[in-house]
Amino acid sequence: MPKSQLTYLVLGLLAANSMYALAQPADADYQAFLKARGEASWINANAEHPAANSAYRPIPPLASFPANTAKRDLGFALFHDTTLSSDGTVACNTCHMGMMGGTDGMTIARGVNGERGTRNTPTIFNAAFNFRQFWDGRAFDLDTQSLEPISNPVEMGHNLESVVANLQNDARYRALFEQAYPDGVTAANLGNALSQHTKDMTRTDSPFNDYLNDPKNALSEQALRGQERFNAVGCVACHNGINLGGNSYQAVASSFNTALQYALPGEQGLAARTGREQDQLVFKVPQLHNVAMTAPYYHDGSVGTLQDAIRRMGNHQSGRVLSDTDVADITAFLASLSSAFFNTGMHNMSNSQLQDAMREQMPDAMGQGHRMRGHGEHMQHMQNGHHSSAINNDENDTVHQHGAQQ
């Protein structure tokens, strides 16, 4: 093609793209995001690693990210404080529990007054590496994401202005905010403190992450076979990068009719935010770190086991009927994404030890009245085994009076 014709073609494409952009409704949040200036996105971490241009990239040690101790500790206290909810029963950790991989083990989360949400709770661990937050990507960063559950009527059901006023009237919180932020207690600082704690919930000690950093840290033969099948079947097309997902939107099935099988009444997916028909039942691809711990699966919690999720994804996304051997091998690979923190730490503790260990992490400046209120009762429910029977069972779900709509 002559150079002049190529030039005209490029100019024509640019003009067409500009006209398309002008025809789209303005997204104020996105415009603010584009103009924002701050720390580099964590999804770009380890860009210089030798594996950065391959399908998978290891997560660097948490110590490689700058952290403000005052903000992190304040965020921990707020994350576990039920007074952020309207009835004093729900804290962030009510749905994002450490010993359950940062989830709640329920099909659909519940909030204040037993209100039923609309989606399954995603893990909070390693969420800092997602390119958007929530299943429909409506939050561009963790600061924004952290505030929304507080005012959501089926989550914490509170008024954000009232929450800020309550924090300002609390001498202990006021002192902690003033220590961490020049302007003290504000809604923006509340969201930022909570996001600092979320970032602190990053785990890098899985066998697979060790393997990516140094292949001498061998995986089991079955896990290696599973990785090969994971790639060959096509799972890697969506579950890739530093978070093995969390970096794109995809339909829950290659066929829209099949996708409808996983749609609760009124569910639109990304289309509810964009208004585009092609975004019906499209969701952010979930990240896979610690996925073996976060059943049930899918945005509606309709799949109870990891093996079933693997079979369904192979069939509905790649058109493959996976053998039992394939499923077992891929399961072994996904299990290698689990943090040793869970395998050798929290899961070996009793219920009382868990509560004591988490209380000990609370900043001394916060009184006992703010520590873990409402959390012990919920953990007792989990210890009694209610969470396992709650999968796909709305009647048993009523045992849990807490949750979060994601």
Per-residue pLDDT band at 351 (split at 50, 70, 90): very low
With beta carbons less than 8 A apart as the criterion, state whether 400 and 390 touch. yes
pLDDT in tens, 149-170: 999 999 999 999 999 999 999 9
Chain-wide mean pLDDT for the chain?
81
Say whether 155 is catalytic. yes
pLDDT in tens, 68-103: 999 999 999 999 999 999 999 999 999 999 888 899
Q: Is the pLDDT of residue 119 over 60?
A: yes
Q: What are phi and psi of 50, to 5 degrees?
A: -55, -25
d(CA 122, CA 137): 12
Q: Is the pLDDT of residue 347 over 50?
A: no
d(CA 291, CA 300): 16
pLDDT in tens, 214-235: 999 889 999 999 999 999 999 9
Question: Is residue 318 exposed (0-12), middle (13-18) or buried (19+ Cβ within 10 Å)?
Answer: middle
Q: How far apart are the first and last CA of the chain?
A: 50
Locate 9 and state its tokens. Answer: 């073609």
Residue ranges with strand state E in 188-281: 249-251
pLDDT at 399: 28
Q: What percentage of the chain carries pLDDT values higher than 90?
A: 63
d(CA 109, CA 300): 9
**pTM of the predicted structure, to 2 decimals:** 0.79
With beta carbons less than 8 A apart as the criterion, state whether 102 and 111 touch. no
- The residue annotated as part of the active site, out of 155, 267, 277, 360, is 155
Greater pLDDT, 348 or 304? 304
d(CA 95, CA 78): 14
Chain-centre distance for alpha carbon 187:
22
With beta carbons less than 8 A apart as the criterion, state whether 326 and 314 touch. yes
Q: Is the pLDDT of residue 370 over 50?
A: no
Question: Is residue 385 exposed (0-12), middle (13-18) or buried (19+ Cβ within 10 Å)?
Answer: exposed
Paired residues of 284 in beta bridges? 249
pLDDT in tens, 238-291: 999 999 999 999 998 887 777 777 667 888 999 999 999 999 999 999 999 999
Residue with tokens 């919930």: 201
- Among 84, 117, 101, which residue's Cα sits nearest to residue 401? 117
Domains of the chain and any CATH numbers: 66-203+351-397 (1.10.760.10), 207-248+285-338 (1.10.760.10)
